[in-house]
């Protein structure tokens, strides 16, 4: 069984630009164009950064349709379909498949606190029923449950499960997944600040928050790593590490939307329960942005 990576390089977990009436699709299209112009390889639509938890089924499906139309022949489109309801995740995956998505991204089921056996069955239930590449998403800080390396090994045997967005922050875990799974489960960093070490271990790129505002930087960082030029990659990372950290001064995507607004990029408003960044943290964020050379 030979699997093909969905993408190599930088993938932007793109924000959803809301206004008081719903989703501003014109702003969304402009943001997609900005990503393409800066070399982004793929987009994750309806992910954490896109405030997927606040989307209706209709909004979710329309965002996917718009993204696929705008990205046709330019960038891959990966659709977030994760849920703590397995049947709901299946519905979203079926919709993404019908719309022409390149892959789906499926987070571990939050709140339910499944066992590892339950995780295998949860992901397999969807992968058995929808013929589309499925990327696992491991982010236990948000969901309360993480994938073990052994569970990843089991899931890597499924022909439709092709990779993992590894956002645990545990470099040792990523190394073990790579060792156990090899090219049966491609790895992408789920944290901007882990991009270089994970790519040194064999990851193929990053699913990035920072690339909403510095897509060219993240494209270059991944390209250097793919070229095995880790000296220059480390130097580039060192410059932007404070920015990557500042984008998590508050819950994502609060800071990145504030950063985009300061750059006259159309990020839209936040949806409850998320609220605007505090005045203190806005000041800290803008100071870091100036330090790395971003005009605000």
For residue 241, being part of any structural domain is answered with no
Is residue 288 situated within a structural domain? Answer: no
- The reply to whether 1 falls in a domain is no
Residues assigned a catalytic role: 137, 165
**Alpha carbon distance 163, 237 (integer Å):** 24
Neighbours of 84 (CB within 10 A): 18
Determine the 3-state secondary structure of 207 from DSSP. Answer: strand
pLDDT of residue 1: 73
- Does the residue 247 lie in any domain? no
User: Position of tokens 């309360």?
Assistant: 144
* Cα 175 from Cα 199, distance rounded (Å): 10
Is residue 257 one of the residues assigned to a domain? no
Percentages of the chain per state (helix, strand, coil), in multiples of 5: 50, 15, 35
To 5 degrees, how large is the angle CA 9–CA 14–CA 18? 175
Angstrom distance (rounded) from CA 215 to CA 237: 13
Residue 203: which residues within 8 A CB-CB, separation 6 or more? 166, 174, 178, 186, 187, 188, 189, 195
Nearest alpha carbon to residue 43 among 28, 54, 23: 28
Asked if residue 114 belongs to a domain, the reply is: yes
Q: CA-to-CA distance for 250 and 282, rounded, in angstroms?
A: 10
Residue 266's pLDDT is: 83
Count CB neighbours of 24 within 10 A. Answer: 19
Is there a domain that residue 164 lies in? yes
Residue 41 lies in a domain: yes
**Residuewise pLDDT in 10s, the chain (296 residues):** 799 999 999 999 999 999 999 999 999 999 999 999 999 999 999 999 999 999 999 999 999 999 999 999 999 999 999 999 999 999 999 999 999 999 999 999 999 999 999 999 999 999 999 999 999 999 999 999 999 999 999 999 999 999 999 999 999 999 999 999 999 999 999 999 999 999 999 999 999 999 999 999 999 999 999 999 999 999 999 999 999 999 999 999 999 999 999 999 989 999 999 999 999 999 999 999 999 999 88
Domain count, the chain: 1
Look up the domain containing 188 and give its range. Answer: 9-227
Domain holding 145: CATH number? Answer: 3.20.20.70
């Amino acid at each position: 069984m030979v699997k093909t990576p969905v993408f190599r390089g930088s993938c932007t977990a793109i924000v959803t630009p809301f206004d008081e009436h719903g989703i501003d699709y014109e702003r969304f299209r402009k943001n997609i164009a900005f990503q393409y112009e800066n070399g982004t390889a793929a987009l994750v639509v309806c992910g954490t950064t896109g405030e997927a938890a606040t989307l209706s089924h209709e909004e979710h499906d329309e965002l996917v349709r718009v993204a696929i139309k705008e990205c046709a022949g330019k960038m891959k489109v990966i659709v977030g379909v994760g849920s703590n309801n397995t049947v709901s995740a299946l519905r979203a995956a079926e919709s993404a498949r019908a719309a022409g998505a390149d892959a789906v991204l499926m987070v571990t089921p939050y709140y339910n606190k499944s066992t590892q056996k339950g995780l295998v069955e949860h992901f397999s239930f969807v992968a058995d029923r929808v013929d589309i590449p499925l990327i696992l998403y491991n982010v236990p800080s948000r969901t309360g449950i993480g994938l073990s390396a052994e569970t990843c090994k089991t899931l890597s045997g499924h022909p439709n499960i092709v990779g993992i967005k590894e956002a645990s922050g545990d470099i040792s875990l990523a190394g073990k997944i790579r060792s156990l799974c090899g090219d049966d489960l491609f790895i992408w960093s789920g944290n901007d600040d882990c991009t270089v070490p994970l790519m040194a271990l064999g990851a193929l790129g990053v699913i990035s928050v920072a690339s909403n505002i510095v897509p060219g930087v993240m494209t270059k960082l991944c390209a250097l790593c793919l070229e095995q030029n880790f000296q220059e990659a480390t130097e580039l990372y060192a410059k932007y590490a404070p920015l990557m950290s500042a984008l998590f001064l508050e819950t994502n995507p609060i800071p990145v939307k504030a950063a985009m607004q300061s750059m006259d990029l159309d990020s839209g408003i936040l949806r409850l329960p998320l609220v605007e960044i505090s005045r203190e943290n806005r000041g800290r964020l803008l100071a870091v942005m100036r330090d790395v050379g971003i005009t605000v």
